[in-house]
Structures are given as structure tokens and as C-alpha cells.
Structure 1
Amino acid sequence: MANPFVRAQYLLAAHNHRQLPPDGGYEVAFAGRSNAGKSSALNALCQQNALARVSKTPGRTQQLVYFALPPLEDRYLVDLPGYGFAKVPKDLQAHWQAFLDGYFGSRDALKGLVVVMDIRHPLKDYDRQMIGYAVNRGLPAHALLTKADKLSRGAAANALQAVRKELSGAYGDTVSVQTFSGESKLGVEEARDVVARWLEI
């Protein structure tokens, strides 16, 4: 099949469990700290410039944003809220913590998690927490080391090796890792193949 992601389109934004689509089919979630390059990665995978909003302001994504992949039925990409140094009120953080706990704990449609990290600052607490969610649930996770074009080839290879070593030491082979750049399109095909496999398309 030709790239099934090019027709991806916004479906809905959910702020709580009641707003989620029916729990059937296949979905892959994308997580990343604020400004890690998550929106750019989604746009690059789908060969679209403005599918996911790219914001200079950290923490803009305050819902689970669903993108459908027509004409395929029940296939979704899910953009999770980005945190890190976002100035988010404590009560909203608590709400999100509970929502994500429930989402990861009980969502049958969830088939895998892509954790987007800036290759220059990988494996922060948030990244480990998100990978932990997937591993605890028995789901595959894929670490996308973005902005690889900002490093020399040698430095990017060293960073990849270091992250791979730490994750395999902690989680065995349940978490795969790759370098990526939405800017230069490095690794886009590889990442797309991983997501397509999880979605069974």
C-alpha cells in the first residue's frame, strides 16, 4: 500500500474519557516533552505541513488529539499532551495524570507508543515515565530521537548508541530506537514502517 498516512486528518480532541472514540480498532500514541519535535514528527510522517500544530509555546497541546487515516476504518494516530517546562497549573497536571493513567491502563485499541525526544536531551523523567507506561502494559514503544540534523553524524550515532544501551538494559528489546529529523526527513520511512506495523496496515 502507498503511504497510508498522507490522508490523515483531524478527528477530535478529548479532554476526558467520555470524549474518546469507541474503544475498538487500532491506535498509536505519540508522546514527547514540550518542544521535543512531536508535531513536526507527525507532520513529516504524514507528509503534511500543518496536520499537527507546531507551536513555539511549550504545552500548547492540552487534549488527546485524534487523527483518522481515511479510507481505513478505525485506524488512528493520537497526539498526547506535551509536558516538561510547560507552565501548567497543578490541578490540570493532576487531571492529565489521572486521564493518562486510565488511557494507558485500559485502552484496548492502543497498540504502541512513540516517544519523541530531542536527541540533544534524551531520556528525561517524562520520557522514562511514558516508556514505563507502555512497558508496564506490555505494549511496544519506539523512541524517536528528533532534531538529529542539529548534530554531526558521529555525535548523532553516539547519542543513538547511548540511548539504545540504556533502554535495552532497562527494558530488553521491547523499546526500539532510531534517529530522526523532520527537517531533513532522516528516518521518516523507518518510523512510518514501525507505526504502520502496529496499526496493521
Structure 2
Amino acid sequence: MSEDHTNRLGAIHRELHSHLPSEPALRVKALESLLVEKGLLDPGTVDAWIEVYTEEIGPKRGAELVARAWTDPAFHDRLLADGTAVITEIGFEGLAGGHLRVVENTPAVHNLVVCTLCSCYPLAVLGIPPNWYKTAAYRSRAVRDPRGVIAEFGEVISDDLEVRVWDSTAEVRYLVLPERPAGTEDWDIARLADLVTRDSMIGTERDLGRRLGAG
């Protein structure tokens, strides 16, 4: 077999394997298949729960809260005063995992949320936490070097902007209320909610104005 042919086969092999799921994903799939085979799990139920968490619960709930706070001063004030009462009132409670506190970004302050002990997260309004949120690297560095961490997500926080880091626990979960971008004064709640991202409600993204072109 020629060297060129061997190289081409190697390239094909690498290409095929590059599309394989990660090892944890493969383990989960194997476990799911085993449970389905033994009649202990309905695959339709798994699909339904995934859809609920990614499409219904997910960050869309949090984005709706943010959009309403941007457009309704009274709702804004109540959300900041008692986030738990608000999400209970509108039916978003249940998986928040305790008291929900909403902290607001301003021209002078930027907020970043972390859970240094594990991965406490407001599931009821943000859905499933991203993998990076649960890593030891994020949990430690977000406290020691929040500006550096945020920069790795593509944002540069100026030195004159105060950065406040909030440490979630099983009793208190935090949600960042990002600043409303200029130029959205005439937008309705649905359009505004589409502009809000999960990362902006964690605090690793600040400038939502960069997304106006896609809005």
C-alpha cells in the first residue's frame, strides 16, 4: 500500500471519528439503550423531557423575565425586590432550587454568577446549566479573575466598570438582568426576549447590542 493511500485512509478515519459524540454522551446513550431494552425507560419520555428543558424551560423563561423587566417598570422593581415571588406568581417556580435573586447590570456595574462549591443554578428560569459552568476552572477563576474569564467569552470589561461576582448556593440562586440595548425602544416583549441570551443572564456576556443585526 502506497504512503499516499495510507495517508488518505488515515484522514478518512480521523474525519469519521471527529463526528462521534463525546465519551460521556456515548455512555449516556449506552445506558439509555440498556434501560429501554429492559423495558425500564420509555424513549418518548426522555425525548419529551429534553424538549421541555431545552425549548420550554431553558433560557427562554429567563429571557421572558428580562424582556418584561425592560418594558414594565413595576414588574422590574418587583423582580429585583423578590425574584422568587415573581416566578412563583407567573408559574416559573419549581426547579429554581431556593430563593431567586435578580441582580441588575448598569452602566457602572457588571454582574457575574458562579457556584464555587458545585453547580447551583436557577433551573426553573435558565434550564440545564452549560458544561463550562460546572467545571472547576470556571468555578475558581470566576472569583479570582472575573474580567479574564469574561474576556475569554469575547467581552472586554473596562477597568472603570465594577464587576460583582455572586456565588450561588442551594438556598440562593442568581440571575443577571442585562442592560437593554439602545435602539430597541419600539420592540415588543417577544422580540426583546429573542435578543436575550443564557450567557447574558449568567454574566459572561454583557453587550447585547452586538446582536441587534440578528434581531
User: Does TM, normalized by the shorter one, top 0.5?
Assistant: no
Q: What's the TM-score bracket when you normalise by the shorter of the two chains?
A: under 0.3
Structure with greater Cα Rg: 2
TM-score (norm 2): 0.22
TM-score (norm 1): 0.23
Structure with more of its chain in strand, by fraction: 1
